[in-house]
Amino acid sequence: MDLTLPTPEATHRFGERLARLLRAGDLVLLQGGLGAGKTTLAQGIGAGLRVRGHVASPTFIIARTHRPLGDGPWLVHVDAYRLGSLDELEALDLDTSLEESVTVVEWGEGLAEVLSDDRLEIALDRPHGGIEDGSQELVDDAPRRATVTARGDRWAGVDLEVLREGP
């Protein structure tokens, strides 16, 4: 499933729609280079899940936990750049268990995959070039392409078309 996200707000809204599909125990891997929009998407997921706290790039920590305001799942937001190994995430003394959380991992490629066979992978990229030509494209609205791949029994039969923005 592919969709175009023209602006940061569109990426945020995509995260909110995605959150409606998510439940406790789910794993979402966000793939894409620096500035691709992974944190922006995680913020939309956090808004959709109605969790507490500001969803930001996890700095100096591997994972940040966000408690739900209602009775939905927690959000565990992981920066895989800082994750030495998978066991490290499981071994972290988090406020919540991964079973009662939606776990969103930034830059999960090649690392977090083995966390769970059931996972949603979202690759973000800039169809119109990277940031090599200057940092401006990091801040300016520029379309991102999101490619959503569902893996495992959890996602079998789930209609990802609901992730598209309505008219």
Report in angstroms how near the CB of residue 106 gets to Mg ion at its nearest.
5
Residues 6+ apart with CB under 8 A from 105: 27, 28, 29, 30, 78, 80, 112, 115
The answer to whether 4 contacts Mg ion (rule: CB under 5 A) is no
Interface pattern 76-115 for ligand ADP (x via CB under 6 A): ------------------------------x---------
The answer to whether 40 contacts ligand ADP (rule: CB under 6 A) is yes
Q: Which of the residues 111 through 150 are near ligand ADP (CB under 6 A)? A: 138-139, 141-144
Asked if residue 69 lies in contact with residue 49, where contact means CB atoms within 8 angstroms, the answer is: no
Q: How far apart are CA 36 and CA 166, in angstroms?
A: 23
Task: Tally Cβ neighbours within 10 Å of residue 34.
Answer: 11
Binding residue for Mg ion (CB under 5 A) from 57, 117, 138, 162?
57
The answer to whether 7 contacts ligand ADP (rule: CB under 6 A) is yes
Q: How far apart are CA 14 and CA 9, in angstroms?
A: 8
The answer to whether 34 contacts ligand ADP (rule: CB under 6 A) is yes
The answer to whether 64 contacts Mg ion (rule: CB under 5 A) is no
* Cα angle value 163/24/52 (rounded, 5°): 85
> For binding to ligand ADP (CB under 6 A), which residues are involved?
5-8, 10-11, 32, 34-40, 57, 106, 138-139, 141-144
